[in-house]
């Protein structure tokens, strides 16, 4: 027997270990979207500017809250604080989206100054629209990918806190508008801006897998169903159905002093939970966050009517946040779990990285 045959018999064949194949962990994960060169070269100056914007945001939010909370404060302070909030939201949104400040911020500054000085209905309504739209979109863009439940809850609360500051800004303008028309304008504008931004952040529609595409179609169908059904019931519903809905709303208002909003509970807030979770693995998770803008848009417009009751709106928002978080975590547990047959064939995806919270995304 030859030496080669003996060596072949001496080394037994090992069966490959079953399980997921892993990517090479020694290769660092890079951000998968090209970004612009920082406009402020000095890191110290950049941190100083961000700290200044943050201080202005906090001070303006407190000042805008005087239009809602009964505190001994001058009446004239609310609208200048609303203008500052509108500018801060625009700066944050343009910076996060990698846009040009002079192109977008300068017109917003002129609009806010004119609205405070002239106080015409058109300028006040336009400023309220810009405040609601920029706050709704920026509150979603400022989130970070979250792989664990505590991280998801943190990003969820941060986004809703940012949107609530936009709600106070819209209320501080005290513009006389038609609530339904105003809500639809804000929703359409916020969705349009979100889709335009997510197109590049989420690798376009061609990057969607089957599961993500079904989530996108299902969310759009649910949004259309809720909006169409609520509009149909109000205009063409029978008196018995209208009375039944009215009785339920009145009972909830008298019992809990607030009513959760279906658009936020069933679509907007769960999409926020699912979106930040999916972004931790795939950039296509941005597409789920398009529907999160629906929830933040409804939230930012909830106090636009001067006759709105802040306590009722606040409790309704809290109920919607709690129920939306529960629904979102339930959906997340199903969406983020890989199917066993598919998982055996694929490489395990590393945790995806993104720029810092206050850095441009593209």
Q: What pLDDT is attached to residue 343? A: 46
Residue closest to 99 by CA, chosen among 196, 176, 165: 196
Residue closest to 306 by CA, chosen among 187, 211, 182: 182
- Bigger pLDDT: 222 or 66? 66
The tokens describing 157, both together, are: 């609360």
The backbone region for 86, taken as left when phi is positive above 0, alpha when psi lies in -120 to 50, beta otherwise, is alpha
Token pair 């639809």 is found at 184
Token pair 């807030």 is found at 269
The tokens describing 53, both together, are: 């914007």
Query: What's this model's pTM, rounded to 2 decimal places?
Result: 0.82
pLDDT surpassing 50 at residue 344: no
**What is the per-residue DSSP string for 134-171?**
HHHHHHHHT-----SHHHHHHHHHHHHHHHHHHHHHHH
Q: What pLDDT is attached to residue 360? A: 84
pLDDT surpassing 60 at residue 22: no
* Count, residues in the chain: 362
A 10 A CB-CB count for 251 gives 11
- In 3-state terms the chain splits into helix, strand, coil percentages (rounded to 5) of 70, 0, 30
> pLDDT digit string (tens) for 115-156?
999 989 999 999 999 999 999 999 999 999 988 999 999 999
Q: How confident is the model at residue 46 (pLDDT cuts 50, 70, 90)?
A: confident
Q: What pLDDT is attached to residue 235? A: 63
With beta carbons less than 8 A apart as the criterion, state whether 278 and 190 touch: no
pLDDT surpassing 50 at residue 19: no
Q: What is the rounded average pLDDT for all residues in the chain? A: 81
Token pair 């110290």 is found at 44
Q: What pLDDT is attached to residue 163? A: 95
pLDDT surpassing 70 at residue 178: yes
Residue closest to 198 by CA, chosen among 135, 137, 274: 137
Q: What pLDDT is attached to residue 326? A: 94
pLDDT mean over 312-316 = 88
Q: What pLDDT is attached to residue 94? A: 92
Token pair 């997510």 is found at 198
Q: What pLDDT is attached to residue 5? A: 47
pLDDT surpassing 50 at residue 3: no
Buried b (16+ CB within 10 A) or exposed e, 69-101: eeeeeeeeebbbbbbbbbbbbbbbbbbbbbbee
pLDDT surpassing 70 at residue 277: yes
Q: What pLDDT is attached to residue 124? A: 94
> pLDDT digit string (tens) for 184-234?
899 999 999 998 888 888 666 665 666 666 666 776 677 667 666 666 656
Give dist(CA 316, CA 327) in Å, integer.
16
Q: What pLDDT is attached to residue 4? A: 47
- Bigger pLDDT: 62 or 23? 62
The backbone region for 21, taken as left when phi is positive above 0, alpha when psi lies in -120 to 50, beta otherwise, is beta
The tokens describing 345, both together, are: 């064939």
């Amino acid at each position: 027997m030859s030496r080669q045959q003996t060596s072949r018999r001496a080394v037994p064949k090992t069966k490959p270990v079953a399980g997921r194949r892993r990517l090479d962990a020694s290769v660092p994960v890079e951000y998968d979207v090209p970004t612009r060169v920082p406009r402020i070269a000095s890191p110290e100056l950049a941190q100083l500017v961000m700290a200044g914007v943050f201080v202005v945001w906090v001070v303006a939010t407190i000042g805008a809250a005087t239009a809602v909370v009964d505190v001994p404060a001058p009446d004239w302070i609310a609208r200048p604080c609303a203008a500052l909030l509108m500018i801060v939201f625009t700066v944050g949104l343009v910076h996060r989206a990698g846009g040009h400040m002079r192109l977008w911020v300068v017109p917003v500054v002129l609009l806010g100054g004119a609205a405070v000085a002239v106080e015409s209905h058109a300028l006040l309504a336009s400023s309220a629209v810009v405040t609601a739209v920029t706050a709704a979109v920026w509150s979603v863009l400022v989130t970070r990918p979250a792989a664990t439940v505590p991280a998801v809850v943190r990003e969820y609360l941060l986004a809703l806190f940012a949107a609530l500051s936009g709600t106070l800004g819209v209320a501080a303008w005290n513009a006389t508008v038609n609530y339904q028309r105003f809500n639809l304008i804000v929703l359409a504008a916020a969705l349009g801006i979100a889709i335009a931004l997510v197109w590049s952040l989420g690798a376009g529609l061609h990057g969607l897998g089957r599961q993500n595409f079904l989530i996108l179609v299902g969310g759009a169908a649910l949004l259309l169903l809720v909006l169409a059904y609520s509009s149909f019931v109000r205009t063409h519903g029978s008196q018995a159905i209208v009375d039944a809905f009215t009785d339920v709303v009145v009972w909830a208002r008298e019992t809990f002093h607030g009513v959760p909003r279906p658009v936020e509970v069933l679509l907007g807030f769960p999409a926020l939970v699912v979106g930040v979770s999916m972004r931790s693995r795939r950039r296509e998770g941005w597409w789920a966050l398009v529907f999160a803008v629906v929830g933040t848009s409804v939230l930012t417009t909830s106090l636009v009517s001067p006759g709105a009751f802040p306590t009722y709106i606040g409790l309704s928002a809290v109920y919607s946040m709690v129920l939306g978080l529960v629904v979102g975590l339930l959906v997340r547990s199903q969406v983020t779990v890989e199917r066993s047959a598919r998982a055996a064939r694929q490489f395990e995806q590393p945790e995806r990285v993104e720029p810092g919270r206050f850095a441009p995304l593209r």
